[in-house]
Protein backbone atom coordinates (compact mmCIF):
# COMPACT_ATOMS: atom_id res chain seq x y z
CA UNK A 1 0.00 0.00 0.00
CA UNK A 2 1.21 3.52 -0.72
CA UNK A 3 0.25 6.99 0.45
CA UNK A 4 -0.27 9.84 -2.02
CA UNK A 5 -0.74 13.36 -0.61
CA UNK A 6 -1.92 16.22 -2.82
CA UNK A 7 -1.46 19.79 -1.60
CA UNK A 8 -3.66 22.85 -2.04
CA UNK A 9 -2.57 23.83 -5.55
CA UNK A 10 -2.82 20.22 -6.71
CA UNK A 11 -6.56 20.23 -5.94
CA UNK A 12 -7.17 23.98 -6.18
CA UNK A 13 -8.69 24.04 -9.69
CA UNK A 14 -11.28 21.63 -11.14
CA UNK A 15 -8.91 20.49 -13.90
CA UNK A 16 -6.20 19.86 -11.29
CA UNK A 17 -8.59 17.63 -9.35
CA UNK A 18 -9.28 15.75 -12.59
CA UNK A 19 -5.54 15.26 -12.96
CA UNK A 20 -5.32 13.92 -9.38
CA UNK A 21 -7.92 11.30 -10.32
CA UNK A 22 -5.67 10.29 -13.26
CA UNK A 23 -2.62 10.07 -11.03
CA UNK A 24 -4.26 7.84 -8.44
CA UNK A 25 -5.57 5.43 -11.07
CA UNK A 26 -2.29 5.05 -13.00
CA UNK A 27 -1.29 1.87 -11.14
CA UNK A 28 -2.96 -1.00 -9.34
CA UNK A 29 -1.31 -0.62 -5.94
CA UNK A 30 -3.70 0.01 -3.00
CA UNK A 31 -3.42 3.57 -1.80
CA UNK A 32 -4.50 6.07 0.79
CA UNK A 33 -4.94 9.46 -0.88
CA UNK A 34 -4.55 12.40 1.49
CA UNK A 35 -5.98 15.72 0.32
CA UNK A 36 -5.41 19.29 1.49
CA UNK A 37 -8.04 21.98 1.23
CA UNK A 38 -8.30 23.79 -2.13
CA UNK A 39 -5.58 26.46 -2.27
CA UNK A 40 -6.66 29.65 -0.55
CA UNK A 41 -9.40 27.99 1.49
CA UNK A 42 -7.56 27.58 4.80
CA UNK A 43 -6.37 31.19 4.55
CA UNK A 44 -9.97 32.26 3.92
CA UNK A 45 -11.14 30.24 6.94
CA UNK A 46 -8.44 31.85 9.08
CA UNK A 47 -9.77 35.26 7.99
CA UNK A 48 -13.35 34.27 8.86
CA UNK A 49 -12.18 33.18 12.32
CA UNK A 50 -10.28 36.42 12.79
CA UNK A 51 -13.36 38.47 11.87
CA UNK A 52 -15.40 36.51 14.41
CA UNK A 53 -12.74 36.95 17.07
CA UNK A 54 -12.95 40.73 16.49
CA UNK A 55 -16.72 40.47 16.77
CA UNK A 56 -17.13 41.66 13.17
CA UNK A 57 -19.93 39.35 12.06
CA UNK A 58 -20.71 41.38 8.97
CA UNK A 59 -17.20 40.91 7.62
CA UNK A 60 -17.33 37.19 8.50
CA UNK A 61 -20.65 36.82 6.66
CA UNK A 62 -19.24 38.52 3.55
CA UNK A 63 -16.15 36.27 3.63
CA UNK A 64 -18.32 33.15 3.99
CA UNK A 65 -20.49 34.21 1.03
CA UNK A 66 -17.43 34.84 -1.17
CA UNK A 67 -16.04 31.41 -0.32
CA UNK A 68 -19.41 29.76 -0.98
CA UNK A 69 -19.62 31.41 -4.41
CA UNK A 70 -16.11 30.16 -5.22
CA UNK A 71 -17.11 26.59 -4.38
CA UNK A 72 -20.33 26.81 -6.38
CA UNK A 73 -18.45 27.67 -9.55
CA UNK A 74 -15.77 25.06 -8.71
CA UNK A 75 -18.47 22.38 -8.60
CA UNK A 76 -19.89 23.42 -11.97
CA UNK A 77 -16.52 22.84 -13.63
CA UNK A 78 -15.57 19.77 -11.61
CA UNK A 79 -18.72 17.77 -12.29
CA UNK A 80 -20.77 17.19 -15.43
CA UNK A 81 -23.79 15.14 -14.36
CA UNK A 82 -26.69 16.91 -12.72
CA UNK A 83 -27.06 14.16 -10.09
CA UNK A 84 -23.44 14.63 -8.97
CA UNK A 85 -23.81 18.43 -9.04
CA UNK A 86 -26.85 18.05 -6.81
CA UNK A 87 -24.93 15.89 -4.36
CA UNK A 88 -22.07 18.39 -4.34
CA UNK A 89 -24.41 21.29 -3.71
CA UNK A 90 -25.88 19.40 -0.76
CA UNK A 91 -22.36 19.04 0.63
CA UNK A 92 -21.73 22.77 0.11
CA UNK A 93 -25.02 23.66 1.79
CA UNK A 94 -24.20 21.47 4.77
CA UNK A 95 -20.77 23.07 5.31
CA UNK A 96 -21.74 26.65 4.51
CA UNK A 97 -24.83 26.35 6.73
CA UNK A 98 -22.50 25.27 9.52
CA UNK A 99 -20.35 28.35 8.89
CA UNK A 100 -23.43 30.56 8.90
CA UNK A 101 -24.68 29.08 12.18
CA UNK A 102 -21.39 29.80 13.89
CA UNK A 103 -21.94 33.49 13.18
CA UNK A 104 -24.45 33.33 16.00
CA UNK A 105 -22.30 31.39 18.47
CA UNK A 106 -19.73 33.01 20.74
CA UNK A 107 -16.19 32.50 19.51
CA UNK A 108 -13.91 29.96 21.20
CA UNK A 109 -10.71 28.11 20.32
CA UNK A 110 -12.70 24.90 19.80
CA UNK A 111 -14.96 26.70 17.34
CA UNK A 112 -11.92 28.12 15.56
CA UNK A 113 -10.62 24.57 14.98
CA UNK A 114 -14.02 23.51 13.67
CA UNK A 115 -13.94 26.37 11.18
CA UNK A 116 -10.42 25.52 10.02
CA UNK A 117 -11.43 21.87 9.43
CA UNK A 118 -14.03 22.78 6.78
CA UNK A 119 -11.48 23.06 3.94
CA UNK A 120 -10.24 19.47 4.00
CA UNK A 121 -13.76 18.13 4.65
CA UNK A 122 -14.99 19.97 1.55
CA UNK A 123 -12.13 19.03 -0.78
CA UNK A 124 -12.32 15.30 0.03
CA UNK A 125 -16.12 15.13 -0.23
CA UNK A 126 -16.12 16.92 -3.59
CA UNK A 127 -13.31 14.72 -4.89
CA UNK A 128 -15.20 11.62 -3.78
CA UNK A 129 -18.29 12.76 -5.71
CA UNK A 130 -16.11 13.29 -8.78
CA UNK A 131 -14.62 9.78 -8.42
CA UNK A 132 -18.16 8.38 -8.23
CA UNK A 133 -19.06 10.29 -11.37
CA UNK A 134 -16.17 8.78 -13.32
CA UNK A 135 -16.80 5.39 -11.69
CA UNK A 136 -13.61 5.02 -9.68
CA UNK A 137 -14.31 2.60 -6.86
CA UNK A 138 -13.10 4.09 -3.56
CA UNK A 139 -13.87 4.69 0.12
CA UNK A 140 -13.86 8.02 1.94
CA UNK A 141 -12.15 7.51 5.32
CA UNK A 142 -12.89 10.27 7.86
CA UNK A 143 -9.55 11.41 9.31
CA UNK A 144 -11.37 12.43 12.48
CA UNK A 145 -12.01 8.71 13.12
CA UNK A 146 -8.32 7.79 13.28
CA UNK A 147 -5.99 10.84 13.31
CA UNK A 148 -5.63 11.68 17.00
CA UNK A 149 -3.30 13.89 19.01
CA UNK A 150 -2.60 13.56 22.73
CA UNK A 151 -2.89 16.20 25.46
CA UNK A 152 0.51 17.63 24.38
CA UNK A 153 -0.79 17.94 20.77
CA UNK A 154 1.48 15.06 19.72
CA UNK A 155 0.20 12.42 17.31
CA UNK A 156 0.90 8.83 18.41
CA UNK A 157 1.57 6.48 15.50
CA UNK A 158 0.64 3.44 17.66
CA UNK A 159 -2.89 4.70 18.31
CA UNK A 160 -3.37 5.89 14.73
CA UNK A 161 -2.20 2.48 13.48
CA UNK A 162 -4.80 0.56 15.52
CA UNK A 163 -7.68 2.87 14.56
CA UNK A 164 -6.75 2.99 10.90
CA UNK A 165 -6.31 -0.80 10.68
CA UNK A 166 -9.82 -1.25 12.08
CA UNK A 167 -11.26 1.09 9.45
CA UNK A 168 -9.31 -0.46 6.57
CA UNK A 169 -10.36 -3.94 7.69
CA UNK A 170 -13.97 -3.06 7.03
CA UNK A 171 -13.16 -2.52 3.34
CA UNK A 172 -10.84 -5.40 2.46
CA UNK A 173 -12.05 -5.47 -1.13
CA UNK A 174 -11.25 -1.78 -1.77
CA UNK A 175 -8.02 -0.36 -3.19
CA UNK A 176 -8.44 3.43 -3.11
CA UNK A 177 -9.04 5.27 0.14
CA UNK A 178 -9.47 9.04 0.30
CA UNK A 179 -8.91 10.98 3.51
CA UNK A 180 -8.34 14.48 4.84
CA UNK A 181 -4.92 15.85 5.65
CA UNK A 182 -4.34 18.39 8.43
CA UNK A 183 -7.37 17.65 10.63
CA UNK A 184 -7.29 15.54 13.77
CA UNK A 185 -9.13 14.90 17.00
CA UNK A 186 -7.51 16.03 20.24
CA UNK A 187 -7.37 14.38 23.67
CA UNK A 188 -10.67 16.03 24.60
CA UNK A 189 -12.30 14.49 21.53
CA UNK A 190 -12.66 17.90 19.85
CA UNK A 191 -11.81 18.65 16.23
CA UNK A 192 -8.23 19.93 16.03
CA UNK A 193 -5.42 20.11 13.47
CA UNK A 194 -1.72 19.43 12.90
CA UNK A 195 -0.92 23.14 12.35
CA UNK A 196 -0.58 24.98 9.04
CA UNK A 197 0.81 22.86 6.24
CA UNK A 198 -0.09 19.80 8.32
CA UNK A 199 -1.32 17.59 5.48
CA UNK A 200 2.28 16.49 4.83
CA UNK A 201 2.45 15.41 8.47
CA UNK A 202 -0.86 13.52 8.13
CA UNK A 203 0.53 11.70 5.08
CA UNK A 204 3.74 10.72 6.82
CA UNK A 205 1.88 9.55 9.95
CA UNK A 206 -0.50 7.48 7.82
CA UNK A 207 2.41 6.05 5.82
CA UNK A 208 4.11 5.06 9.07
CA UNK A 209 0.88 3.60 10.50
CA UNK A 210 0.21 1.33 7.49
CA UNK A 211 3.88 0.64 6.80
CA UNK A 212 3.45 2.05 3.29
CA UNK A 213 5.81 1.19 0.43
CA UNK A 214 6.26 4.94 -0.19
CA UNK A 215 4.82 8.26 0.95
CA UNK A 216 4.36 10.47 -2.11
CA UNK A 217 3.98 14.21 -1.50
CA UNK A 218 2.53 15.73 -4.69
CA UNK A 219 2.90 19.50 -4.89
CA UNK A 220 3.47 22.38 -7.31
CA UNK A 221 7.25 22.08 -7.70
CA UNK A 222 9.57 19.31 -8.91
CA UNK A 223 11.02 18.42 -5.49
CA UNK A 224 13.13 19.94 -2.73
CA UNK A 225 15.21 22.76 -4.19
CA UNK A 226 18.66 23.80 -2.96
CA UNK A 227 17.20 27.07 -1.66
CA UNK A 228 13.86 28.84 -1.36
CA UNK A 229 12.74 29.41 -4.98
CA UNK A 230 10.47 32.25 -3.87
CA UNK A 231 13.54 34.24 -2.82
CA UNK A 232 16.48 32.94 -4.81
CA UNK A 233 16.39 33.09 -8.59
CA UNK A 234 18.53 30.17 -9.71
CA UNK A 235 17.64 27.07 -7.72
CA UNK A 236 17.52 23.41 -8.72
CA UNK A 237 15.75 20.26 -7.53
CA UNK A 238 17.75 17.80 -5.43
CA UNK A 239 17.42 14.17 -6.53
CA UNK A 240 18.20 12.45 -3.27
CA UNK A 241 18.19 13.40 0.40
CA UNK A 242 18.61 11.39 3.58
CA UNK A 243 15.87 11.49 6.20
CA UNK A 244 18.24 13.49 8.42
CA UNK A 245 18.87 16.10 5.74
CA UNK A 246 15.18 16.39 4.81
CA UNK A 247 14.15 16.62 8.47
CA UNK A 248 16.59 19.48 9.06
CA UNK A 249 15.41 21.34 5.94
CA UNK A 250 11.74 20.88 6.85
CA UNK A 251 12.31 21.91 10.45
CA UNK A 252 14.40 24.92 9.46
CA UNK A 253 11.86 26.38 7.10
CA UNK A 254 11.73 24.67 3.67
CA UNK A 255 8.02 25.28 3.12
CA UNK A 256 7.60 22.32 0.80
CA UNK A 257 7.45 20.07 3.90
CA UNK A 258 5.69 20.58 7.25
CA UNK A 259 8.39 20.91 9.94
CA UNK A 260 7.52 17.63 11.67
CA UNK A 261 6.63 15.62 8.58
CA UNK A 262 9.79 13.58 8.25
CA UNK A 263 10.11 11.83 11.61
CA UNK A 264 7.22 9.35 11.21
CA UNK A 265 8.52 8.21 7.81
CA UNK A 266 12.07 8.08 9.13
CA UNK A 267 11.17 6.18 12.29
CA UNK A 268 9.22 3.57 10.32
CA UNK A 269 11.63 3.70 7.38
CA UNK A 270 9.12 4.60 4.68
CA UNK A 271 10.75 6.40 1.73
CA UNK A 272 9.24 9.78 0.88
CA UNK A 273 9.03 11.11 -2.68
CA UNK A 274 8.37 14.76 -3.46
CA UNK A 275 6.62 14.98 -6.83
CA UNK A 276 5.14 17.64 -9.08
CA UNK A 277 1.47 17.32 -10.10
CA UNK A 278 2.15 19.62 -13.06
CA UNK A 279 5.04 17.44 -14.29
CA UNK A 280 4.09 13.98 -13.04
CA UNK A 281 6.98 12.25 -14.79
CA UNK A 282 9.74 14.51 -13.46
CA UNK A 283 12.11 12.68 -11.10
CA UNK A 284 11.36 14.74 -8.01
CA UNK A 285 13.24 14.15 -4.75
CA UNK A 286 13.67 10.80 -3.06
CA UNK A 287 14.08 10.93 0.72
CA UNK A 288 15.32 7.71 2.29
CA UNK A 289 18.03 6.39 4.58
CA UNK A 290 20.65 7.09 1.91
CA UNK A 291 22.04 10.57 1.42
CA UNK A 292 23.47 9.99 -2.02
CA UNK A 293 26.43 12.30 -1.57
CA UNK A 294 28.48 14.22 0.99
CA UNK A 295 28.60 18.02 1.37
CA UNK A 296 26.29 21.00 1.16
CA UNK A 297 22.89 20.13 -0.36
CA UNK A 298 20.52 22.97 0.48
CA UNK A 299 19.82 26.10 2.47
CA UNK A 300 16.58 26.88 4.32
CA UNK A 301 15.42 29.78 6.47
CA UNK A 302 13.00 29.96 9.36
CA UNK A 303 11.50 33.32 10.42
CA UNK A 304 9.84 34.47 13.61
CA UNK A 305 12.77 33.58 15.83
CA UNK A 306 13.48 35.20 19.17
CA UNK A 307 17.01 35.20 20.61
CA UNK A 308 17.51 35.35 24.37
CA UNK A 309 20.87 36.04 25.98
CA UNK A 310 21.46 35.48 29.70
CA UNK A 311 24.64 37.11 30.98
CA UNK A 312 25.96 36.34 34.39
CA UNK A 313 29.35 36.46 36.04
CA UNK A 314 28.03 33.66 38.22
CA UNK A 315 28.24 31.40 35.20
CA UNK A 316 32.00 31.63 35.39
CA UNK A 317 33.25 28.20 36.48
CA UNK A 318 29.79 27.36 37.87
CA UNK A 319 28.28 23.97 37.22
CA UNK A 320 24.50 23.53 37.08
CA UNK A 321 23.96 27.00 35.57
CA UNK A 322 22.83 25.72 32.17
CA UNK A 323 20.51 23.18 33.80
CA UNK A 324 18.73 25.96 35.67
CA UNK A 325 18.39 28.01 32.49
CA UNK A 326 17.02 25.05 30.50
CA UNK A 327 14.59 24.16 33.28
CA UNK A 328 12.87 27.51 32.77
CA UNK A 329 12.21 26.64 29.12
CA UNK A 330 11.13 23.13 30.03
CA UNK A 331 8.67 24.45 32.59
CA UNK A 332 7.04 26.60 29.91
CA UNK A 333 7.10 23.81 27.30
CA UNK A 334 9.13 25.99 24.93
CA UNK A 335 11.69 24.24 22.80
CA UNK A 336 15.08 25.72 22.03
CA UNK A 337 16.52 25.61 18.50
CA UNK A 338 20.02 27.09 18.71
CA UNK A 339 22.38 27.41 21.67
CA UNK A 340 25.74 29.12 22.00
CA UNK A 341 27.68 29.71 25.16
CA UNK A 342 30.65 31.74 26.34
CA UNK A 343 32.23 31.77 29.75
CA UNK A 344 29.80 34.40 31.03
CA UNK A 345 26.76 34.17 28.80
CA UNK A 346 24.42 31.77 27.10
CA UNK A 347 22.33 32.59 24.03
CA UNK A 348 19.38 30.49 22.89
CA UNK A 349 16.70 30.87 20.25
CA UNK A 350 13.03 29.94 20.39
CA UNK A 351 10.33 30.04 17.70
CA UNK A 352 7.35 30.04 20.04
CA UNK A 353 7.25 33.24 22.08
CA UNK A 354 3.86 32.66 23.74
CA UNK A 355 5.54 32.29 27.15
CA UNK A 356 8.35 34.78 26.52
CA UNK A 357 7.27 37.23 29.27
CA UNK A 358 7.27 34.50 31.97
CA UNK A 359 10.50 32.98 30.64
CA UNK A 360 12.35 36.35 30.63
CA UNK A 361 11.13 37.15 34.11
CA UNK A 362 12.32 33.84 35.53
CA UNK A 363 15.67 34.05 33.72
CA UNK A 364 16.33 37.42 35.35
CA UNK A 365 16.98 35.50 38.56
CA UNK A 366 20.23 34.25 36.93
CA UNK A 367 21.56 37.46 35.36
CA UNK A 368 20.92 40.15 32.76
CA UNK A 369 18.47 39.09 30.07
CA UNK A 370 18.54 40.55 26.54
CA UNK A 371 15.83 39.66 24.02
CA UNK A 372 16.05 40.18 20.23
CA UNK A 373 12.87 39.49 18.28
CA UNK A 374 12.36 39.26 14.52
CA UNK A 375 15.37 37.07 13.85
CA UNK A 376 15.81 34.36 11.21
CA UNK A 377 17.67 31.06 11.36
CA UNK A 378 19.44 30.18 8.15
CA UNK A 379 20.41 26.52 7.97
CA UNK A 380 22.96 25.10 5.60
CA UNK A 381 22.21 21.40 5.34
CA UNK A 382 24.14 18.49 3.87
CA UNK A 383 25.30 15.02 4.73
CA UNK A 384 28.53 15.16 6.83
CA UNK A 385 28.67 18.91 6.21
CA UNK A 386 30.57 19.51 9.43
CA UNK A 387 33.41 17.35 8.09
CA UNK A 388 33.39 18.91 4.64
CA UNK A 389 36.54 20.87 3.87
CA UNK A 390 36.27 24.62 3.46
CA UNK A 391 32.55 24.82 4.07
CA UNK A 392 32.82 27.37 6.88
CA UNK A 393 35.20 29.45 4.84
CA UNK A 394 32.79 29.47 1.91
CA UNK A 395 29.88 30.44 4.17
CA UNK A 396 31.73 33.31 5.83
CA UNK A 397 33.28 34.53 2.58
CA UNK A 398 29.80 34.63 1.04
CA UNK A 399 28.31 36.40 4.05
CA UNK A 400 31.00 39.01 4.54
CA UNK A 401 28.56 41.97 4.54
CA UNK A 402 25.98 40.31 6.83
CA UNK A 403 26.05 40.70 10.62
CA UNK A 404 25.67 37.18 12.03
CA UNK A 405 24.29 37.06 15.60
CA UNK A 406 24.90 33.36 16.39
CA UNK A 407 26.54 30.35 14.73
CA UNK A 408 25.86 26.69 15.52
CA UNK A 409 28.35 24.29 14.07
CA UNK A 410 28.96 20.68 14.99
CA UNK A 411 25.77 20.08 16.96
CA UNK A 412 24.52 18.01 14.08
CA UNK A 413 26.79 16.51 11.44
CA UNK A 414 24.35 17.62 8.78
CA UNK A 415 23.72 21.24 9.60
CA UNK A 416 25.35 24.61 10.17
CA UNK A 417 22.92 27.23 11.47
CA UNK A 418 23.30 30.99 11.53
CA UNK A 419 21.12 33.56 13.22
CA UNK A 420 20.60 36.81 11.35
CA UNK A 421 18.14 39.71 11.45
CA UNK A 422 14.95 38.96 9.49
CA UNK A 423 15.66 42.03 7.35
CA UNK A 424 18.85 40.36 6.02
CA UNK A 425 17.21 37.07 5.03
CA UNK A 426 16.72 37.65 1.30
CA UNK A 427 20.23 38.91 0.68
CA UNK A 428 21.71 36.15 2.86
CA UNK A 429 19.99 33.41 0.84
CA UNK A 430 21.05 35.04 -2.42
CA UNK A 431 24.67 35.41 -1.31
CA UNK A 432 24.80 31.80 -0.08
CA UNK A 433 23.43 30.60 -3.40
CA UNK A 434 26.31 32.31 -5.15
CA UNK A 435 28.94 31.33 -2.60
CA UNK A 436 27.99 27.69 -2.02
CA UNK A 437 26.42 26.65 -5.32
CA UNK A 438 28.19 29.10 -7.64
CA UNK A 439 24.82 30.13 -9.11
P1 LIG B 1 1.33 22.30 -0.96
O2 LIG B 1 0.15 23.20 -1.02
O3 LIG B 1 1.40 21.31 -2.08
O4 LIG B 1 1.51 21.68 0.38
P5 LIG B 1 3.34 24.28 -0.33
O6 LIG B 1 3.02 25.64 -0.83
O7 LIG B 1 3.09 24.01 1.10
O8 LIG B 1 2.58 23.22 -1.27
O9 LIG B 1 4.88 23.91 -0.65
C10 LIG B 1 5.39 24.06 -1.95
C11 LIG B 1 6.07 25.40 -2.10
O12 LIG B 1 7.16 25.46 -1.18
C13 LIG B 1 6.72 25.63 -3.43
O14 LIG B 1 5.80 26.16 -4.36
C15 LIG B 1 7.84 26.62 -3.10
O16 LIG B 1 7.51 27.94 -3.42
C17 LIG B 1 8.01 26.53 -1.59
N18 LIG B 1 9.39 26.21 -1.17
C19 LIG B 1 10.08 26.87 -0.21
N20 LIG B 1 11.29 26.35 -0.06
C21 LIG B 1 11.41 25.34 -0.95
C22 LIG B 1 12.46 24.44 -1.30
N23 LIG B 1 13.64 24.46 -0.68
N24 LIG B 1 12.22 23.55 -2.28
C25 LIG B 1 11.04 23.52 -2.92
N26 LIG B 1 10.00 24.34 -2.64
C27 LIG B 1 10.18 25.25 -1.67
N1 LIG C 1 -4.93 23.25 4.40
C2 LIG C 1 -3.95 23.33 5.46
C3 LIG C 1 -3.15 24.60 5.30
O4 LIG C 1 -3.36 25.35 4.35
C5 LIG C 1 -3.05 22.14 5.51
C6 LIG C 1 -2.20 21.88 4.30
O7 LIG C 1 -2.47 22.39 3.22
O8 LIG C 1 -1.22 21.14 4.44
O9 LIG C 1 -2.36 24.90 6.15
MG1 LIG D 1 2.23 22.46 2.21
pLDDT tens digits, residue range 108-139? 999 999 999 999 999 999 999 999 999 999 99
Residues pairing with 376 in the sheet: 420
Using the atom order of ligand 2, give the atom closest to the CA of residue 39.
4
CATH 3.30.2130.10 residue ranges of the chain are 297-437
Which listed CATH number (3.40.1080.10, 3.40.50.2020, 3.40.1160.10, 3.40.50.1980) goes with 2-220?
Answer: 3.40.1160.10
- Does the pTM surpass 0.85? The reply is yes
Cα 409 to its chain centre, rounded Å, is 25
Which CATH number is 297-437 given? 3.30.2130.10
Residue in 6, 194, 195, 197 to alter for ligand 2 test, most ligand atoms within 8 A of Cβ = 197
pLDDT tens for the chain, 439 residues long, are 999 999 999 999 999 999 999 999 999 999 999 999 999 999 999 999 999 999 999 999 999 999 999 999 999 999 999 999 999 999 999 999 999 999 888 899 999 999 999 999 999 999 999 999 999 999 999 999 999 999 999 999 999 999 999 999 999 999 999 999 999 999 999 999 999 999 999 999 999 999 999 999 999 999 999 999 999 999 999 999 999 999 999 999 999 999 999 999 999 999 999 999 999 999 999 999 998 888 999 999 999 999 999 998 776 667 788 899 999 999 999 999 999 998 889 999 999 999 999 999 999 999 999 999 999 999 999 998 878 888 999 999 999 999 999 999 878 889 999 999 999 999 999 999 999 999 8
Ligand nearest to the CA of 258: 3
DSSP string for residues in 382-419: -TTGGGSTTHHHHHHHHTTTSPP-EEEEEEETTEEEEE
The reply to whether ligand 1 has any atom less than 6 angstroms from the CB of 217 is no
Residues of the chain with CATH 3.40.1160.10: 2-220
| Ligand 2 atom with least separation from CA of 199 | 8
Quick one: CA torsion of 383, 385, 388, 391, rounded to 10 degrees?
A: 140
Give CA–CA dist 146/133, Å, rounded: 27
Amino acid sequence: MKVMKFGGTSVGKPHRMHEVANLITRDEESKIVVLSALSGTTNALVEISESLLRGDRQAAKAQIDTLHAHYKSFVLELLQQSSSREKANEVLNEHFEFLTIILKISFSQALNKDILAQGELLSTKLFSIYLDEIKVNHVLLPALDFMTIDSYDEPQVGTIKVKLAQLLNKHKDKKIFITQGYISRNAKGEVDNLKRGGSDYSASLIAAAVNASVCEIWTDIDGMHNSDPRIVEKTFAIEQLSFDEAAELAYFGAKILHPASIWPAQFYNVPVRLLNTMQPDAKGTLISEKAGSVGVKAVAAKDGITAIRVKSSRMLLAYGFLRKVFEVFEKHRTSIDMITTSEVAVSVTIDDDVHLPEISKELEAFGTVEVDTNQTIVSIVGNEIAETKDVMKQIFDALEPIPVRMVCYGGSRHNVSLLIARADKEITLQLLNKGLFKL
